[in-house]
């Protein structure tokens, strides 16, 4: 198949999933065309079957905001036509599902039909999408997609609760590539961070409010009062400065390291004992899956799709949002007994195997086939 992939090329989970999916599909012999405003980080080297088309809008003094949606639509029309794409797969509903619909309509006037699959990732529904400023357009564009997938049962249900959706939504979970995410030996590195054998707790995120990084620090404070431990905070974003201030107030600066954005997350997971994800909302929790694949148990909130990934009492523990005492208690239970920690590590890995890229990727392929087989019908009926 010739597949066009549209996504945000940033550090967000939706961009990671879209890029890894495209690379995986290319490995399986499909021709994959990424269409984004910047080259996604993992596309920096030559890879067979992978093409990249950059969207660059025209700047003009009249525009206070350059019309990216229009530039992307025009690019999609061009790429679909000239690269003869079979299907367009857009990640994150805003504005990609809307833009794809527009491109599809333009192509139809030129006698060309391309089906569109939209994958809902989370905040495009729960935070941004549900906002009145976007909701009618998001609802319309989801209904006009030929296929719609969501990354968890919970996100599917939330989409159905928040919008008037007439489409079937297929759940296809986030996935993990075990050739990259696996426990590797980084003992020298561990000694540098925790020279006295302290336990290492880890959190990675984009430091937005929804991630509740302050809860991570509060949990760590409680753990640190009971066990020798260190906290690694990976990523960057709007809350980072506040979090640095909080660490100073709590006198934790020597125990907490802010490492900023990191590409080799698997090397940091390799030296970690526990992952903390206390999010206010989380449609799946890809970062937690990455931790589990590296045999790191997860202390998380119980929102969104997290219970579909993290099994309470087996791969980690779930607590209500904001229950930092409960999260700390669970963390101490796991970390204070080596045999318990090893059991949780084993369970986390076994659970992660259910989300192996080799299991999930064929689900996308089969879904594309299904959509393509009904495409002629959809062409007549959809508009
Ligand atoms: O908030 C983020 O973590 C980024 C965001 C995105 O769309 O880029 O991630 C969402 O998509 C990921 C991949 O499908 C999911 O694993 C994350 O749970 C989801 N984040 C939220 O729902 C907050």
CATH number (domain holding residue 193): 3.40.50.2000
The reply to whether 135 and 228 lie within a common domain is: no
At 176 the pLDDT is 98
Whether the predicted model's global pTM rises above the 0.75 cut: yes
The reply to whether 279 and 234 lie within a common domain is: yes
Strand partners, 147: 117
At 317 the pLDDT is 98
At 129 the pLDDT is 72
What's the total number of domains in the chain? 2
Domain that holds residue 365: 2-175+357-381
Cα separation, 340 vs 95, in Å, equals 46
- Using the mean position of ligand 1's atoms as its centre, give its distance from the Cα of residue 254 in Å: 30
Helix (H) or strand (E) segment spanning residue 183: none
Q: Are 125 and 156 in contact (CB under 8 A)?
A: no
Token digits for 41? 């980080």
- Out of 148, 281, 282, mutate this one to test ligand 1's pocket (max ligand atoms within 8 Å of CB): namely 282
- Using the mean position of ligand 1's atoms as its centre, give its distance from the Cα of residue 121 in Å: 6
The reply to whether 218 and 320 lie within a common domain is: yes
What stretches of the chain adopt beta strand conformation (E)?
Answer: 2-6, 31-36, 50-54, 87-91, 116-120, 147-150, 169-171, 199-204, 229-234, 256-260, 274-277, 298-301, 316-319
Token digits for 186? 């980084």
Write out pLDDT tens, residues 208-253: 999 999 999 999 999 999 999 999 999 999 999 999 999 999 999 9
Comparing C-alpha atoms, which of 66, 27, 74 is closest to residue 48?
27
Token digits for 60? 């003009």
Write out pLDDT tens, residues 100-127: 999 999 999 999 999 999 999 998 898 7
The reply to whether 81 and 61 lie within a common domain is: yes
Comparing C-alpha atoms, which of 77, 82, 73 is closest to residue 51?
82
Comparing C-alpha atoms, which of 307, 237, 233 is closest to residue 298?
307
User: For residue 181, is it within any domain?
Assistant: no
- Closest atom of ligand 1 to CA, residue 284: 18
354 secondary structure, DSSP code: G
Pocket of ligand 1 (CB under 6 A): 12-15, 17, 92, 121-123, 151, 174, 206, 210, 281-286
Q: Are 155 and 122 in contact (CB under 8 A)?
A: yes
User: For residue 182, is it within any domain?
Assistant: no
At 380 the pLDDT is 53
User: For residue 180, is it within any domain?
Assistant: no
On the CB side of 19, CA atoms within 13 Å amount to 19
295 secondary structure, DSSP code: T
Residue stretches of the chain with pLDDT short of 50: none
User: For residue 31, is it within any domain?
Assistant: yes
At 11 the pLDDT is 67
The reply to whether 129 and 7 lie within a common domain is: yes
The reply to whether 240 and 314 lie within a common domain is: yes
At 185 the pLDDT is 84
Cα separation, 327 vs 78, in Å, equals 51
- Using the mean position of ligand 1's atoms as its centre, give its distance from the Cα of residue 229 in Å: 28
At 105 the pLDDT is 97
The reply to whether 55 and 95 lie within a common domain is: yes
Nearest CA to ligand 1 atom 5: 13
The reply to whether 153 and 202 lie within a common domain is: no
Is residue 323 exposed (0-12), middle (13-18) or buried (19+ Cβ within 10 Å)? middle
User: For residue 257, is it within any domain?
Assistant: yes
User: For residue 43, is it within any domain?
Assistant: yes
The reply to whether 155 and 191 lie within a common domain is: no
């Amino acid at each position: 198949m010739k597949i066009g992939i549209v996504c945000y090329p940033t550090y967000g989970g939706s961009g990671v999933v879209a890029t890894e999916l495209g690379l995986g599909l290319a490995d399986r012999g499909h021709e994959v065309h990424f269409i984004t405003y910047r080259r996604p980080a993992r596309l920096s080297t030559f890879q067979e079957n992978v093409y990249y088309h950059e969207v660059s809008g025209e700047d003009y003094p009249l525009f206070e905001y350059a019309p990216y949606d229009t530039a992307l639509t025009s690019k999609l029309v061009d790429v679909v036509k000239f690269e003869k794409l079979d299907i367009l797969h857009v990640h994150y509903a805003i504005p990609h599902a809307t833009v794809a619909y527009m491109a599809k309509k333009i192509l139809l006037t030129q006698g060309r039909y391309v089906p569109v699959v939209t994958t809902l990732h989370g905040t495009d529904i729960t935070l941004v999408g549900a906002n009145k400023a976007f909701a009618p357009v998001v609802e319309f564009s989801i209904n006009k997609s030929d296929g719609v997938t969501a990354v968890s049962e919970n996100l599917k249900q939330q989409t159905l609760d928040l919008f008037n959706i007439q489409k079937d939504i297929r759940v296809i979970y986030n996935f993990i590539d075990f050739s990259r995410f696996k426990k590797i030996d980084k003992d020298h590195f561990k000694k540098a961070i925790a020279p006295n054998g302290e336990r290492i707790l880890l959190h990675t995120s984009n430091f937005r409010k929804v991630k509740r990084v302050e809860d991570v620090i509060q949990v760590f404070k409680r753990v640190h009062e009971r066990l020798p431990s260190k906290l690694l905070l990976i990523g960057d974003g709007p809350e980072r400065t506040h979090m640095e201030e909080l660490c100073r107030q709590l006198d934790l600066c020597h125990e907490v390291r802010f490492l900023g954005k990191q590409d080799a997350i698997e090397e940091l997971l390799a030296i970690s004992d526990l992952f903390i994800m206390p999010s206010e909302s989380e449609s799946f929790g890809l970062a937690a899956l990455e931790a589990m694949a590296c045999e790191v148990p997860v202390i998380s909130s119980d929102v969104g799709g997290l219970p579909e990934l993290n099994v309470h009492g087996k791969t980690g523990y779930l607590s209500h949002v904001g229950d930092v005492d409960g999260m700390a208690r669970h963390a101490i239970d796991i970390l204070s007994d080596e045999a318990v920690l090893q059991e949780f590590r084993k369970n986390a890995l076994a659970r992660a195997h259910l989300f192996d890229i080799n299991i999930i990727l064929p689900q996308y392929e089969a879904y594309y086939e299904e959509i393509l087989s009904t495409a002629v019908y959809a062409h007549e009926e959809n508009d």
